[in-house]
Amino acid sequence: MKKFFLFLPLVTFAVLGFFLYKGLFLNPQQLDSALIGKPIPAFELQKLEDENIKLTNKDLIGKVSMINVWGTWCPSCKFEHPYLMKLKAQNILPIYGINYRDERKAALHELKVVGDPYALNIFDPMGKLGVDLGVYGAPETFIVDHNGIIQYRYAGPIAEPVWNNTLLPIIQKLQQQAKARGAS
Amino acid sequence: MKPWIMALLLCVGTFLTGYAAATPVDTYQFKNQTNQERGLKLARSMRCPQCQNQDLVDSNSPVAHDLRIQVYKMVDEGKSDEQIVQYMTQRYGDFVLYKPRMDSKTYILWWGPLGLLICGAIVIGLLVRKQRANKDSNEAFTENDEQALKAILQDEDNK
């Protein structure tokens, strides 16, 4: 017992050291989403290309998909864009775009110039859907299963390593599950 | 001017300028004074999800702006504090709360310091008791001991 008390400071130091050391490698910019396991929030917003067409959360359900939040004001989105184009060409899953806190004209112009990787373009100028999704910056990407349940959120631009190591395995797993349950 | 006075003034000046420039100004009009106080207090208790170490009122980031306006609106709509906190945590998780809630994940945060204090008190208590016990034994300094000590000291002197 006495020995144990003698070693107590060492044990405390080791435990503290372990957690602090682990803390060094956490990324404070990478917050957990509160929406994992929850359905896409209900919304009704205009289509980016046509203000008369309304899009709702139901338009995004049915396939394993990716929702990408972007804006023309966001440099990291520009950085990410070529990779999204590549993903579109590979035709792995539909990518839905949320044009976040942006101007319609600027956004349309941008898509025309650099290409449109999105299956649907949702226009969210007031950031309403963004707040409902817990978006705190752009770009942010959500992986959604075929039932419209959010399974993963990635904050930051998508590039090769993230895609190969993190996103693609999750997507493949979800697509297999969807197949097993008879969805498309 | 003496250098130390100058240094002092510089220090104070630095703090003052930081203070004055800190808070962005909103044009939001509250319905009444009570709502304003409650809205500001609530927004101050929440963390900006983008900038990490500023509250919603202090931050210039667009997200913080959206969120604090949302808080103000909900206050004016007559929503309760719990409803507003729930709205925020449903979207941004417990991270937005500066004061963490009490649940199984945060027990160590809330009770850890108290636990450490109690541990410390126990250790000190034990040490003091041990010392007292030692002191008692020290008093039994016998005649024999005294003579032995003297012998040793003399031995040292003769060297």
CA–CA min distance B58, chain A (Å): 16
Question: What is the distance between the alpha carbons of residues A73 and A84, in angstroms, rounded to a whole number?
Answer: 17
Of A183, A53, A46, A177, the residue nearest A123 (C-alpha): A46
Using an 8 Å CB-CB cutoff, list chain A residues near B93: 31-34, 134
Structure tokens at A90: 């590979």
Q: Do B50 and A136 touch (CB under 8 A)?
A: yes
Tell me how far apart the alpha carbons of residues A9 and B75 are, in angstroms, rounded to a whole number.
49
- pLDDT 10s digits, A14-66: 999 998 998 888 876 677 788 899 999 999 999 999 999 999 999 999 999 99
DSSP designation for A37: T
CB distance B66–A131 less than 8 Å? yes
Distance from the Cα of A166 to chain B's closest Cα (Å) equals 22
Q: What is the pLDDT of residues B1-25, one digit of tens each?
A: 677 777 777 666 666 555 444 566 6
For residues A139 and A137, give the distance between their C-alpha atoms in angstroms, rounded to a whole number: 6
How many CB atoms sit inside 10 A of residue A162's CB?
16
Distances from the Cα of B2 to the Cαs of B6, B8, B9, B66, B84, in angstroms?
A: 6, 10, 11, 49, 54
* Reported ipTM: 0.75
Q: Do A34 and B93 touch (CB under 8 A)?
A: yes
Question: Which of A159, A4, A172 shows the shortest CA–CA distance to A85?
Answer: A159
pTM greater than the 0.80 cutoff? no
Tell me, yes or no, if B54 comes closer than 8 A to chain A by beta carbon.
no
State how far residue A123 is from chain B, nearest Cα, in angstroms: 17
Look at the block and give the residue holding tokens 């170490």.
B53
